[in-house]
Structure 1
Amino acid sequence: MTDLAKPAPPAGPRERTLTLIVVCSALFLSLLDSTVVVLALPTVGRDLGTDLTGLQWVVEGYVCAYAALLLTGGYLGDRWGRRRVFLIGMGLFTAGSLLCAAAGSVEVLAAGRAVQGIGAAAVTPQTLALLSQAFPGEGERAKALSTWSAVSGLALVLGPVAGGSFAEAFGWRSVFLLNVPVGLFALAAGRRLPAPLPGPRRPLDRLGHILIVACLASATYGLVEGPRSGWSAPDVAAALVLAAAAALALLTRERRTAHPALRLDFFRIPVFAGATGVMFLMAVALNAAYLVLSLLLQVVEGVSPAESGTRLLPTMTAIVIGAFLAGRAGRRLKPWQLVATGTALAGASLLFIACLTAGHSYAVWWPGAALMGLGMGLVMSPNNGLMIGGVRPEDTGQAAAMGGALQQVGAMLGIASLGAVLGPSALDGHALTATADLGAGLRNGLILAGVSCLLATTVTVLLTRAGRERPAAPTAPPPEHAGNAPGT
């Protein structure tokens, strides 16, 4: 009997506990993997003899696949059954982790990361849906979501320490082998989860999903390879032209089709447009800053991976503290005020670090990195609330999925843009070494991240604040269009 054959009976206490454990394990795995990999990159570069472009592909292989297929993963969960798609995704993620651990070249490693990204795109949209199904009561659901959020914070804090320590003690391959036992547990236990109720049978916008993949994949290739090969190189120029053509075709189609993969009408709501703009810009800043700080510690200052993880721990802890403070301050301040404060604090902190990178050690700039984390933490929860609160209740699933996809696109562009600002010394085909040019490039990367945060402040004030009173909802599509694929 398949997931969609008939509605499942209400989950009992054991089934609810099992669902919470499995879902939180999958969430912990994906978040831990993102922070673990960043600190392992300099070690990967030295071992595989690759330059910044190769390291970018290690990150972009995951992020591009995840961003391009996240909306598709939400649809497939509705269509095929969320438990089934969850298990398929976990299988792919675990297989991708094994491929990464066995990689003998940066090309194979990037391919393994892409398989991981495909798996994560299938898993992530199902997690909140599975929790909502298992915990139908409002009080129980709130407790389950609190546990889910706590696991997110724990993964963010442990990621740098675990990643740096394992990369130094056992090699960078151990970072990916960490995923395997957790993935196998989620696969084994996930088969025992209660079969969820079927989702709405909304039509699939096949061409829309294909155009999303074509646009993001070609844009990623052009932006990563452009700084090294030259923007006029035939392959780079062709990739960028294809990305522009796919984007234009996507926008044209989504305005006309009755069941679009992207709900463009959401962007007519100022609050939604502002909140998703902030998610995009902060993802650019956060991912660029993490990679720059990792290179600054390990390449420029010569710090080991384990010590790098320890030195970034105040930043990661500050993110969790900021999220806690945002919840407490939300009783006195409006959400847009918290978002504006957090983005401005993060932007100012990054620009402060940029002014200190040349000739200054970690002992001088670490408070700025901690303040950056505090600002990031202040933003996340209230901005997500603004995004979801800007649309009708029946549209929150699609709104969350779109927000998650745009966040991943921001992460992709944040990493891809570093090649253009770090300079030629990072793109010479060899492992990165400490040079004056690289130091100047790292400073430029921090400036890019800081300016992105300040742009997010501007977007918040101009759009989110101006649209704080919810406008009339956009014209609704046919009822079967409203999906419920949650985002990240």
Structure 2
Amino acid sequence: MNTQPPLAPDTRTDTPTAREWIGLTVLATAQFLVVLTTSIVNVALPDIGRGLELSPVGLSWVVNGYVLAFGALLVLGGRLGDVFGRRRVFLIGTSVFTAGSIVAGLAPTAVVQLAARVGQGVGAALLAPTALALVLTLFPAGAGRARAIGVWGAVSGIGGVAGVVSGGIVTGVFGWRAVFLIGAPVAIAVLAATIALVPADSPAGGRIDLWGAVAVSGGLAALTYALSVGGQYGWTTPRVIAPLIAAVLLLVLFADSQRRLSHPLVPPAILRTGEVLTANIVMTLLGAVWLGLFFFLPLYQQKVLGYSPIRAGLTQLPLAIMITTASTITPTLARHLNTRALLATALALLAAGLAWLARTPVDGRFLTDITAPSLLIGAGLGIAFVLLTAHATTGVPAEHIGLVGGLINTTRQIGGALGLAGLLAVTTSAGDSGDHPTPAHLAHAYGTAFTVTAAIAASAALLTAILRDRTAR
């Protein structure tokens, strides 16, 4: 077992240079961009639906097409970085992401739009794990890395909120197409800055488990699809049962192959390193909460409370500020408190805030029904993202940093995709169906979604406490 605290004080005599901090800024901007792209479309979903004539399930795939491609390919992206060079794969991924953003913004039809979102996800899957691996290479274990992970966790947390805020403003001023195009110039700037400021690394070499990548990606895609359409077509119909069976078979075959292959995509030994497995399990649950929150909260504000896109975006500022504040102070808190207890407390705060938000009154007030629960949610998310990233990467050998970076991003994104698919099935059953649901029906449906996310967050807090006790024994 790894005995080094995940946010340990620095034992080195050297300190990070200005060039290293600049490199962190560039790489963190890339991470911010891929997280932002997950949620920036949420406020624009009603306009996208009208513009491209998409059903509620079709709209969910504007989000899930990106998230699923992103999550399903992240482990492969991390492994490609380890084998062929992290900066090289990062640059390729950023280029693909940029192209996908431009096509999504100019898409003339729903089919082109969804294909472009998948392309964005593929690019993000290459750049996100390699960006984290490059950061961990720039900052060896110590206080410098602790601060870098604090920045990384803050970026991961506030990226979702910033997407909602900026999405509302951009949609209200420029229209829904701009929410896709706005990321392209930022990605181009990241490309140029990376070439100029981030040093190239030496490829580790090795083989790529393509069969494993196909099996896990196909299994996760089939599972997400089945959950997405189950509420629409019925859980016992062939259209749902067939992909569920395919998902189970592919994922079982993937797990079996990883034990037998000499060069597996995910070596089982990695999951026994430090707290990699525990952190990824909890991050899966947190991902479901995170994506569900940023999908349903803007819908509640616009469809039930009658907010404009701009107002729905601006009312997320308290949540963004709290996530930023909590992420910033987490490294300091971790040096003085038990990190397991701190993580469990953060997840409990998150659950409490979501349970408060689940009231979803039709005549909800900004201060009592939006801002107050958002402060609890922001504190929980900010702390949890930083600590889980730290726990997942502590004690991992340098040659597997890219893989582990891919894993922790994978579990968050796949947890989000599966969670959103399941939540959509729940809300369809609870009242978000039919041609013209009333605000009361929608409020009930969205309240049900927040109740489920609160239960997931509470389960994550309990699991954290249980795993802590088992580790102690």
Structure 1, unaligned runs of 5 or more: 1-12, 470-488
- 8 Å Cα contact 2:73/2:122 also seen in 1: yes
Compared CA separation, residues 226 and 466, structure 1 to 2 (3 A): same
2:158, 2:320 within 8 Å by CA — same for their partners in 1?
A: no
Distance 1:385 1:81 in 2: 23
- Aligned residue in 2 for 1:479: none
5+ long unaligned stretches in structure 2: 1-16
User: Which among 162, 185, 196 is matched to residue 200 of structure 2?
Assistant: 196
In structure 2, what is the Cα distance between the partners aligned to 1:135 and 1:331?
Answer: 18
Tell me which residue corresponds to 1:405. Answer: 410
Q: Using the alignment, how far apart are the partners of 2:134 and 2:331 within structure 1?
A: 25
Determine the structure 2 residue equivalent to 1:417: 422
Q: Return the offset for 1:28.
A: 3.1
**Counterparts of 2:181 and 2:190, CA distance in 1:** 15
Aligned pair 1:261/2:262, yes or no?
Answer: no
Trace 1:269-280 onto structure 2 (pairs within 5 A). Answer: 271-280=275-284
Closer/same/farther in 2, CA of residues 14 and 435 from structure 1, 3 Å limit:
closer
Query: What is the TM-score of this pair, normalised by structure 1?
Result: 0.84
Look up the match of 2:320: 316
How many angstroms apart in 2 are the aligned matches of 1:382 and 1:87? 28
1:378 paired to 2:393: no
Selected match of 2:171 from 167, 174, 179 = 167
Conservation of the 8 A alpha-carbon contact between 2:44 and 2:168: yes
Q: TM-score, normalised by structure 2?
A: 0.87
| Other structure's SS at 2:43 match | helix
Q: Does 1:98 find its partner at 2:102?
A: yes
Which residue number in structure 2 is paired with residue 475 of structure 1?
none
Question: Aligned residue pairs: how many?
Answer: 456
Q: Does structure 1 residue 50 correspond to structure 2 residue 61?
A: no
Cα separation, 2, equivalents of 1:45 and 1:335: 43
Deviation at 1:107, TM superposition (A): 2.9
Alignment pair present for 1:118 and 2:134: no
CA shift, 1:26, in A, is: 2.1
How far apart, CA to CA, are the structure 1 residues paired with 2:282 and 2:25?
31
- CA distance, structure 2, for counterparts of residue 179 and residue 249 of structure 1: 37
- Secondary structure of the residue aligned to 1:374 is helix
In 1, Cα distance between equivalents of 2:275 and 2:198: 37
The corresponding residue for 2:224 is 220
**In terms of mean alpha carbon deviation, does 372-381 or 293-302 score higher?**
372-381
Query: C-alpha distance in 2, partners of 1:420/1:243?
Result: 18
When structure 1 is superposed on structure 2, of 388-397 and 375-384 the one drifting more is 388-397
Aligned partners of 1:266, 1:335: CA distance in 2, in Å?
Answer: 22
Asked whether the equivalents of residues 304 and 362 of structure 2 are also in contact (C-alpha less than 8 Å), the reply is no
Is 1:426 matched with 2:432? yes
TM-aligned CA distance change 1:80 to 1:328, over 3 Å: closer
SS of 1:37 mapped into structure 2: coil
Report the Cα offset of residue 316 of structure 1. 1.8
Question: Which amino acid counterpart does residue 405 of structure 1 have in structure 2?
Answer: T
Change (3 A) 1:315 1:17: closer
- Shift of residue 56, structure 1, vs aligned partner: 1.0
The residue correspondences of 1:84-163 to structure 2 (distance < 5 A) are 84-131=88-135, 155=159, 158-163=162-167
Residue pair 1:270, 1:463 contacting (<8 A) in 2 also: no
Say which of 39, 43, 53 aligns to 1:39.
43
2:246 corresponds, among 235, 242, 246, to 242
With 194-203 and 246-255 compared, the bigger mean Cα shift is at 194-203
Say whether the 8 Å CA contact 1:51–1:427 is kept in structure 2: no
Q: Any idea what SS the aligned residue of 1:231 has?
A: coil
